[in-house]
Structure 1
Amino acid sequence: MEGNRQVVLATETYGSGESWEYVAQDGAMERRRDGRDGASGGGNYVIGVFKSVFLPQGYPESVSADYMQYQFWDTVQAFASSLSGTLATQASLRGVGVGNQEATVAAATITWLLRDGTGMLGRILFAWRKGTKLDSEAKMWRLFADVLNDFAMFMEIVAPHFPASFTLIVCTAGIFKSIVGVAGGATRAALTVHQARRDNMADISAKDGSQETLVNLAGLLISLVLIPLVTDNPALTLSLFFLFTALHLFANYKAVRSVVMETFNEARLSIVLQQYLRDGRVLSPADANRQEPVFLDFRRTASIKYGVRLRDVAQSQEELQLALKNNSKPYLLGLKNGCVSVCLAPQVSVCDQLRAASQAISLRSLLQLSPAEESDAPKKLLTLKSPCPWEMVCNSHSLMDRMFEAFLKGVESAGWQTHRTLLDWDEWRVQWKSKTN
């Protein structure tokens, strides 16, 4: 009958997870899910509540594609770290005299204050020296922080076995943990910026805190079972610590490896540029991130200094003219003692910064080539070679004139963000004259 015919009046969705429709039937309007009766099952309701409590609003569209994989491994590492922290805390308390009738409250308090005080100083010094690196190399410093945290907890566990050096050991561990706090917190913020896709950094950060709190609660419950087992059993304590540490480091490695950042830092730009110079192919963000190193490299190599003072590039009028040769861009490059320095003008754009960094990376790559490696080096790179450093700089300007525009279009097509960078630029800006008398 005509009166029983159903007419869809409207449809609505909640992200990509739920779809509803409003149906007119017998003069009334009913709300149904996916064309069926609107009552959802208990399982769907529980899942919905769990998602709303622990995942950002609008998930998965509101976050980066690597969000869930990263959060899974981050949860695993947080759980392992929570259990390791319990073992370290128990050892520290025993070391300061908890349970020892001969220990005094004053001695324990002084040890604790010294540990906290040295940690505060370490936090300030590390933020001063390495604060700018935590944005540009977030994955590397994130992993470094977790390795250092495990080492600090190991020191706390073994400290009670060296009573004469206990205070020194726990103070050193306190410094390491303060560095972990700065590096871990700052890099977490940098990764949150990457994950946010709807200006929802606060929501992602809050839900990340909820996830970590839930994990720590689970770790606390398991710790209640562990503590009676490991008390007065150093061998079992160390065995469990190494087990949790191995899990913690593995999960951290997988977590940082799962992050796919679409913004260039020096390492990612170098990887993409080297491939382009080799065969003209532009790597996607996923391919370049897989090749990006995540461990700190302490080897001495040719370095690049971004945003330096003019005297770091040219120390005389003649050198300034050489730096300006064949150069029409708002930046200057110089080679001094195996180091590539880049000086910026006040009007430099992000595109100019990318070009300057690409040029500097090309020069550094040439400086690092050994005679045996030259046969496998890209031919475009070898065109820069010259016994005169300033001639190499001039040749690099010509190389960028020929290839950078096509390179920039290629990286944009591949999905890279070019409206901002994570290159570690200093704040010096220099206004120079094109010609000097």
Structure 2
Amino acid sequence: MQHVGKLICSNLGARMDSEPKRWRILADLLYDLGSGLEVLSPLCPSLFLEVAGLGNFAKLVVGPLLSVVHVYSVVEEMKAAPVNTLNPQRTALVVAKFIKEGKVSSPADIRYHEDLMFPGRLIKDAGSVKVGQALHRVIKPSKLSEYKEMFPSEKFVICRGNNCTNMVLEHDATGEDALRGWMVAAYAAAAAPSLESSPDGFSSSALLDAYEKVDSVFEKFVSELQAKGWHTDRFLDGTGTRFAL
């Protein structure tokens, strides 16, 4: 039981580290919901006093309006706060900007582009990458052997699915490994835009071409990210599954 408890706490902590803004907004929503229930509670026991009922009725009028203003203010506050650690959504936004425009975004540049409540959206310009699936669900053993023979030093595996590009990281992969995998996936997806045409994965030639492009720009890309204030030594993927070979 103690081991299970530690595992649950670890998973919750990983989720909160990955999306702290989302959890702050959720906490405020729950707080305001509790306040609203408090306001409603005097109306339940048969309106024991008319004056008290009228007074609390006035709070029902004003309370929801103030709660809406409060939640809106919290959302805007969270949007305005830049976070300089890499998670799946921020990594995708950074890669998409670089692939599309050749520009390196700072944490402040992308803060208003984050989806705080539904951060799992796929970003097409970044290769529609989805991270954290179990390895056996992403790639067949024969394809995995072929992939590791081609790229033995990489700490990620990417494989095209039906509607996304799946990426699985090794257990000790860093933010730079995640960035590199995302860029390879983005370049490979751009070379073969129709996901439905190759459900069994990227072709070897598409991957090799993508790796050549990444190798030519990656060192400069990471240096500029670090200069902009990003911490590239860690990648916060929440409770995503990683693998070890």
What TM-score, normalized to structure 2? 0.72
Do the aligned residues in 2 keep the contact of 1:331 with 1:344 (CA within 8 Å)?
yes
SS in 1 for 2:105: coil
Q: Corresponding residue for 1:238?
A: 60
Letter of the 2:111 partner, please give it: N
1:341-384 residue CA offsets vs partner (Å, 9 max, x unmatched): 33334564442233224445x37xxxxxxxxxxxxxxxx86224
- Among residues 391, 396, 403, which one is paired with 2:217 in the alignment? 403
Q: 1:385 aligned to 2:193? A: yes
Q: Corresponding residue for 1:258?
A: 80
Alignment partners' CA distance in 1, 2:98 and 2:122: 26
Q: Which structure 1 residue ranges, 5 or more long, are not aligned?
A: 1-125, 164-229, 364-379, 432-437
Q: Corresponding residue for 2:130?
A: 304
> What do you get for the CA RMSD once the two structures are aligned?
3.6
Alignment partners' CA distance in 1, 2:24 and 2:95: 25
Alignment partners' CA distance in 2, 1:242 and 1:344: 45
Alignment partners' CA distance in 2, 1:153 and 1:384: 52
Do the aligned residues in 2 keep the contact of 1:327 with 1:397 (CA within 8 Å)?
no
Alignment partners' CA distance in 2, 1:261 and 1:297: 14
Letter of the 1:411 partner, please give it: L
- Among residues 94, 113, 118, which one is paired with 1:291 in the alignment? 113
Identity score, percent: 23
Do the aligned residues in 1 keep the contact of 2:174 with 2:233 (CA within 8 Å)?
no
1:307-357 residue CA offsets vs partner (Å, 9 max, x unmatched): x5431232232x224433642413222233434333334564442233224
Question: How many residue pairs are counted as aligned between the two chains?
Answer: 223
Deviation at 1:298, TM superposition (A): 8.3
For CA contacts below 8 A with separation 6 or more, give which structure has more relative contact order. 2
SS in 1 for 2:84: coil
SS in 1 for 2:233: coil
1:213-247 residue CA offsets vs partner (Å, 9 max, x unmatched): xxxxxxxxxxxxxxxxx822243020221232133
Which structure has the bigger radius of gyration?
Answer: 1
Letter of the 2:202 partner, please give it: W
Q: Corresponding residue for 1:323?
A: 147
Do the aligned residues in 1 keep the contact of 2:25 with 2:75 (CA within 8 Å)?
yes
1:114-152 residue CA offsets vs partner (Å, 9 max, x unmatched): xxxxxxxxxxxx978755322111112211222233234
Q: 1:150 aligned to 2:28? A: no
Deviation at 1:397, TM superposition (A): 3.5
Do the aligned residues in 2 keep the contact of 1:325 with 1:394 (CA within 8 Å)?
no
Q: Corresponding residue for 2:4?
A: none
What TM-score, normalized to structure 1? 0.43
Q: Which structure 2 residue ranges, 5 or more long, are not aligned?
A: 1-7, 46-50
The structure-2 alpha-carbon separation of the partners of 1:134 and 1:396, relative to structure 1 and needing over 3 Å to count, comes to farther
Letter of the 1:342 partner, please give it: M
Alignment partners' CA distance in 1, 2:236 and 2:171: 18
SS in 1 for 2:168: strand
